[in-house]
Amino acid sequence: MPKPKRLRPPYRAMIVAPQPEAVEAGHDVLAAGGNAIDAVIACALTQGVVDPMMCGIGGLGVLQIFDPASGRHLVLDGLSACPAACTPQMWVALFERECSDGYGYVLKGGVNELGHCAVTTPGIMRVFGDAHAAFGKMPWPELFGPAIAQADGGWVVRPHVATMFALDEAGYGRLPYVEKLAFTPDGRSLYLRPDGTPKKIGDGVRNPDLAGTLRSLARDGAKSFYEGELARRIVADMREHGGFLSLEDLDGFTVRTRAPLTNMYRGRTIATPPPPAGGIMVAQMLRVLERFELVRLEHNGPEYMRVLTEAMKIAGRDKDEHIGDPDFVPAPLESLLSDAYADDCAARIKRCEKAAKPRANADSKHTTTVSCVDRDGMVVSLTHTNGVPSGVIVPGTGFVLNGAMNWYDPRPGRAGSIAPGKRRFSSMTPTIVFEGSKPVMTLGAPGGAWIGIAILQVILNVLDWGMSMQEAVAAPRFSATSNAIDISNRIPRSTQDGLGAMGYEVKRSPLTFPFAAPHGITMWDGELEGGADPQRDGYAAGLV
């Protein structure tokens, strides 16, 4: 029988994200004449309402934008900063150990994870404000309408939200999420059932306080978060409870506007955010893997996985040793991305040498993403997070503040140690791929240390293996953020046995779609196709 014909015209604009309500918000903004920046901001604000532990206006993030009309191609770094009152030695006596998965540090009393001392200077509203001022098309207040409607009218707990509400990370050394939800009276009334358990799938959440906060930001602009009445309310609550964040921290926070880190892979340009964001890992892995004819290997077969595993471990080890806030720790990008170093790494892999990566060194898995392309060809990709959410909801504001002090090493003298104004390395890697001067793909992912390895595999799936974006994000993934290889439950046991015969420890996940959650859009010949990782609840929405 002949292949069924597609009846609709090709999509010319598209947005993709893990939350259906947020996708709808961005789609509606595009349909109303907004551009990709407008749509991403509306989507992200809605994400903060309907995925409150993952992200929100009290969080941090990184945005990449390509605007063909002006020729500008920028990364806006809104990673949070350590408050000025912090000192390198302040938690030395409280240090107990590193979290077993490498994400964060266990301190007596959990002061770096739960409560007011865990809060760093939020950066995401500065990103939204600066991006809209430079690139936005629709009036700022109109971008808040969908988020306000969700907060006022209420939303229903979805599967992934319920999973996060019930998350217990005590095995890693972190606190159960129910303690974060229950930390303030506002949190308990919003997110817990009357019996004190987290709300479950199908339960409703209404947040009129957050609706009011969003209305004030819509009216007064992003700067009001940092220097207006909202800033004063945040700081008053910090002072009352011994937090570090001050008005000076908020007022002094600026977005770092940077050129993307660009790297060639088989004739195409891969643009990622530079340190302290995570693009260096993707760039370094691609530099090494370009020296292999990957398509001559079996996709996700033992040898293919061995080669990628070693590239992952080398890049992860180099990141641990060399990459931090470049204002404090200069990043040796030239040497890490040099031909000579890539040749040497590839030669070691070809000799079947095993790189040593004794454990994972992760940042927050509790993150979200959105990517968008508009009809004029503007491409925007954003990844943002609350880190480990602090549980702090300033009374009457309706949003959770980040808990990113958990990212800082309480031991002085290390690349990730505490220092006033310092921004910690983050794996967040919103990415745009170019063929010549034209963008052909954009993607991002939540997932902590898994972000880079997931984005790598999606790039390879599309560029080397010719998959569609949906095929690429849904294909089985694996991870090597330590000496062990973690594999999806859809990778055959025969492949696992083959890796074991090579001397690798292999750990099988019971999950169908583990290891980050990439979402993206391809733009081949101007026709857009989106892909949403099936482990989350979102989708790609297009406009003709």
Given a contact cutoff of 8 angstroms between Cβ atoms, the answer to whether 442 and 524 are in contact is no
Given a contact cutoff of 8 angstroms between Cβ atoms, the answer to whether 129 and 431 are in contact is no
Q: Which two tokens stand for residue 342?
A: 């890539």
Active-site residue, 309 included: no
* Nearest to 402, CA basis, from 41, 63, 167, 54: 54
Indicate the SS3 state at residue 540. strand
Q: Which two tokens stand for residue 279?
A: 């693009």
Indicate the SS3 state at residue 149. helix
Given a contact cutoff of 8 angstroms between Cβ atoms, the answer to whether 296 and 466 are in contact is no
Taking each continuous run of H as one helix and of E as one strand, the counts in the chain are 18, 20
CA distances from 282 to 271, 385, 523 (A): 10, 20, 21
Report the amino acid identity of residue 483: N
CA dist., res. 402 & res. 385, Å (int):
8
CA dist., res. 172 & res. 236, Å (int):
33
Report the amino acid identity of residue 336: L
| Cβ contacts of 493 within 8 Å, gap of 6 or more | none
Indicate the SS3 state at residue 178. helix
Q: In Å, how far from its chain's centre is CA 398?
A: 22
Strands 506-508 and 485-487: parallel
CA dist., res. 104 & res. 256, Å (int):
24
Burial class (CB in 10 A: 0-12, 13-18, 19+), 283: buried
CA dist., res. 368 & res. 51, Å (int):
9
CA dist., res. 328 & res. 321, Å (int):
14
What is the number of other CB atoms lying within 10 angstroms of the CB of residue 43?
A: 34
Instruction: Give the angle subtended at the CA of 46 by the CAs of 44 and 51, to the nearest 5°.
Output: 90
DSSP state of 251: H
Beta bridge partners of 76: 63, 257
Beta bridge partners of 121: 81
* Nearest to 426, CA basis, from 60, 51, 19, 86: 60
CA distances from 266 to 290, 436, 467 (A): 7, 12, 16
Could you say which of 46, 309, 367, 397 is catalytic? 367
* Nearest to 424, CA basis, from 402, 440, 442, 444: 402
CA dist., res. 267 & res. 270, Å (int):
10
Given a contact cutoff of 8 angstroms between Cβ atoms, the answer to whether 394 and 234 are in contact is yes
What residues are annotated to the active site?
367
